[in-house]
C-alpha cells in the first residue's frame, strides 16, 4: 500500500488555528450544547473514547457528552499533541483539567501505531479504566486475529459495534472479551443474514502491507 503522507500535515498548526477560533468566540455553540465536557460536572461517567494513530489521525472517537464536531477535533488534537510528546516507560495518566475541565482524568495506552485513550471523571478508578483499554484491545485482537491499524481503519462500523458492547452511555457495560465477542458475532450474523451484498474480505491486497 501507499505510505500515507497525510499524517504529515502540521497538526500543531491546525490545533493552534482551532484554539484561536474557539477563543475568539467564533466557535458555534447551540443553546443546548454543553460547552466543555467538564462543565457538566454533575454527570459521572466515561466522557470519551478515542483511538488515534501515532501521526494524530483519529481512527475512532466517541464522546459520551454531546460536543460539536469542531470541539471534538480540537480535543483529539490537543490530546494527541500531549501524547506524542510523552516518552516511553512513563505512567499512563495525563493531567487534562485544562482540556476537559476540573476533575477529569485521562488514561492511555500505546500499542504499535495506535494510541487508545479514555477520558473520564472522578467517578471511575484510573487503573480500572486502564484495564478496560486492555479489554478493548484484547477483544479487537480476537476479532481480527492480531489486530493492526488497518483493521481498525477499514472496519469502522465493526469498531463501533465492539465499543458499544464495552462502554454504554459512558458506563462500563462488559469486561469479558469472550462475552463481548459473542454479542458482536451475533450482530454480525444478523447483518450477514439480511445482507446479500458481497463481503469485503479482511485483507485486500491493495490495503495491506506497506505503511
- Distance, CA of 46 to CA of 44 (rounded, Å): 7
User: Is residue 72 a contact residue for other proteins (CB under 8 A)?
Assistant: yes
Q: How far is the CB of 47 from other proteins (least distance, A)?
A: 13
- CB 130 → other proteins: shortest distance, Å? 5
Out of 54, 81, 113, 175, the residue judged to bind other proteins by CB under 8 A: 175
141 binds other proteins (CB under 8 A): no
Decide if residue 16 touches other proteins (CB under 8 A).
Answer: no
Q: Which residues contact 145 (CB under 8 A, 6 or more apart)?
A: none
DSSP assigned state of 125:
-
146 contacts other proteins (rule: CB under 8 A): no
- Minimum Å distance from CB 56 to other proteins? 11
**C-alpha grid cell for residue 130?**
486502564
User: Is residue 26 involved in binding other proteins (CB under 8 A)?
Assistant: no
**Which alpha helices (H) appear in 31-175, and where do they start and end?**
69-83, 97-100, 126-144, 149-154, 156-166
Identify the CA nearest to 161 among candidates 142, 183, 131. Answer: 183
Cβ–Cβ < 8 Å for 46, 116: no
Q: Which of 54, 142, 179, 208 binds other proteins (CB under 8 A)?
A: 179
Among 21, 54, 58, 113, indicate the residue that binds other proteins (CB under 8 A).
58
Smallest gap from Cβ 109 to other proteins, in A, equals 10
Q: Nearest approach, Cβ of 182 to other proteins (angstroms)?
A: 8
Residue from 54, 55, 73, 84 touching other proteins (CB under 8 A): that is 73
- Is-contact 140 147, C-beta < 8 A? yes
The reply on whether position 183 binds other proteins by CB under 8 A is: yes
Min CB(104)–other proteins separation in Å: 10
Q: Using the rule CB under 8 A, which residue among 12, 17, 29, 168 binds other proteins? A: 168
**Cβ contacts of 67 within 8 Å, gap of 6 or more:** 33, 34, 37, 75
Q: Indicate whether 61 belongs to the interface with other proteins (CB under 8 A).
A: yes
Rounded Cα gap, residues 30 and 169, in angstroms: 22
Amino acid at each position: 500500500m501507499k505510505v500515507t503522507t497525510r499524517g504529515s500535515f502540521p497538526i500543531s498548526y491546525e490545533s493552534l488555528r482551532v484554539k484561536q477560533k474557539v477563543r475568539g468566540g467564533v466557535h458555534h455553540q447551540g443553546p443546548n450544547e454543553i460547552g466543555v465536557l467538564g462543565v457538566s460536572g454533575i454527570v459521572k461517567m466515561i466522557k470519551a473514547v478515542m483511538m488515534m494513530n501515532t501521526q494524530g489521525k483519529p481512527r475512532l472517537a466517541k464522546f459520551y457528552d454531546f460536543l460539536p464536531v469542531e470541539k471534538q477535533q480540537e480535543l483529539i488534537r490537543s490530546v494527541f499533541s500531549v501524547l506524542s510528546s510523552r516518552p516511553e516507560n512513563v505512567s499512563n495518566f495525563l493531567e487534562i483539567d485544562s482540556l476537559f475541565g476540573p476533575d477529569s482524568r485521562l488514561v492511555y495506552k500505546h500499542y504499535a501505531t495506535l494510541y487508545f485513550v479514555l477520558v473520564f471523571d472522578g467517578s471511575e478508578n484510573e487503573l480500572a479504566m486502564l484495564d478496560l483499554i486492555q479489554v478493548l484491545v484484547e477483544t479487537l485482537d480476537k476479532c481480527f486475529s492480531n489486530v493492526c491499524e488497518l483493521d481498525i481503519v477499514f472496519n469502522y462500523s465493526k469498531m463501533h459495534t465492539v465499543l458499544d458492547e464495552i462502554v454504554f452511555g459512558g458506563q462500563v457495560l462488559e469486561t469479558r472479551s469472550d462475552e463481548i465477542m459473542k454479542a458482536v458475532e451475533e450482530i454480525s450474523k444478523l447483518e450477514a443474514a439480511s445482507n446479500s451484498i458481497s463481503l469485503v474480505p479482511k485483507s485486500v491486497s491493495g490495503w495491506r502491507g506497506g505503511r
